[in-house]
Each structure stands twice: as structure tokens, then as C-alpha cells.
Copies of this chain bind each other. A is one copy, B any other.
Amino acid sequence: MPASSPVLSVAHCPDIEGLNPCGQCKARGLSVCGSLKEEGLRRLAALAEPLDVAAGGVLLREGDPATHLINVTSGMVRVSKLLPDGRRQIVGFLMAGDFLGLASGETYAFTAEAIGEATACRFRRAGYRALLAELPELEAALLERASHDLQAAQDHMLLLGRKTAIERLASFLLDLSGRAARTGDDGVVVDLPMSRAEIADYLGLTIETVSRTMSRLKAGGAITLPSQRAVRIEQSERLRALSGDA
């Protein structure tokens, strides 16, 4: 589910005069719009319902009836699953353009919460389904996105099942860096909007191990920490070597 597919990013949304589906941003809820013609865009926009979420706010909750599809339009969203005893696994961090609610049956199988403030666009499942049937391009774009998310999920399974703490953190930082680079940032100074606890729950570690491992990476010279919520990648090749893959 993590990592945005560049082809479908908001940036590729054509700038159609007067099309303002969600009241604030033309591109809202239209992260798949690169594949749509103006007519399709208008119909999609008609279904869109804007969503402003405060820091920590819930977009959807595990177990609730799966009534909506959500498209993140700004900010970062964490997608997590809970075990009954409270253990948490974050299965992905979503950014603008990412989709939410594809993977569900009758009820949502995960919870989605905003990290910091976020905006999103919501579509009733029924309406979206109907539109999908009429707009094959939209369906194709969604399929591509789902495939992309699936691949990201498989990469993360490899990380969770077989990588060491250092490898996990190095992989994570490189992933964030790559994602930032794709949205225009330089990818050298990487912003960490999430807490250590969230990083830990994403990487299958504890807070303490994340902290210790971060310190080790710093001590080794691969990174520096301009602030607690930012990382500067000093030696990306070194980091890549430490990440385990290739």
C-alpha cells in the first residue's frame, strides 16, 4: 500500500477550468485522473466528498462497514491493523494520491488515521462502483494502483520476515527518500512526520530498537539527524548496502 505510483500522481491531473470537486483543490480525489478525459473527470468530481482530518483523526476504522473509498489528497495517513491485545502493525504510510479501501470485503480490515493534518476525498462505494463500470480507464488505473500496492506489500513482507533491525531502518529511510524525491523534494533531507512508535510499528520493531538503530546509523556516518523528525542521508550508497537488498 505504500509508495505512490508516479503515473497516477496528482501532479498529472489536467487543469480543467472550473472543476473543483472537493471545494478546495482541483485535484482532490482525482489522483487517477491522468487516465481520464474531461467528461470522466467531471463525473468523478460529482461523486467526490471532501474530507478534512485533524491530526490523529480517523479516516476509517477496522471493523466498520466498508461504505467508502478514500483518496488521500494531502498530508500523511497511517494504515494499521490491531491484534485484540493491542499489538499494532502499520501496513503502510499513505501520501497524496494514494488510495484507501480497495482491499476490503464487507468491513474495513484496517484503520486509517491522519498523521498531522490531512485532507482526502471520499466516494461512496456504490456510486464509485457504478462509475467504474462506465469508465474502464478509471478501472484500469485502479488495477494498476492495486498491483503497485501489492508489490509494495510484498517488499514489506520481505522486510518484516527476513531483515535485521538495521536493514529495516535503512530500507525505510531509503524508501521515504525515494518517495520524497518523486514529489519534488531532493531526497537528501528526509522528513519524518511520524513518531518513533509509528516507525516501530511499521518496521515490526520496538521504539527502543528504532532509536538505538537510528543512533547506530548516525554513529556509522550514514546519516545525521538535523532534528528528531528529520534525517539527512549522508552516504546513500552506504545506506543502500546496509539495507540488505542489492
Contacts and interface: CB of A to CB of B under 8 A. Distances in A.
A149 to B, nearest CB: 6
A150 B149 contact: yes
B89 A157 contact: yes
A156 interface: yes
Contacts of A139: 136, 139-140, 143
Interface in A132-156: 132-133, 136, 139-140, 142-143, 146-151, 153-156
B147 A83 contact: no
Contact of A153 (B87, B104, B132, B153): B153
A143 B32 CA distance: 15
A204 interface: yes
A23 to B, nearest CB: 29
Given A109-B155, A139-B143, A245-B84, A160 B204 contact: yes
A149 B56 CA distance: 28
Interface of A: 1, 79, 81, 83-85, 87-89, 91, 102-105, 109-110, 132-133, 136, 139-140, 142-143, 146-151, 153-158, 160-163, 201, 203-204, 244-246
Given A89-B161, A105-B151, A161-B201, 13 more contacts: A83-B162, A83-B245, A102-B150, A103-B150, A109-B151, A133-B136, A133-B140, A143-B146, A153-B153, A153-B154, A156-B157, A160-B161, A161-B204
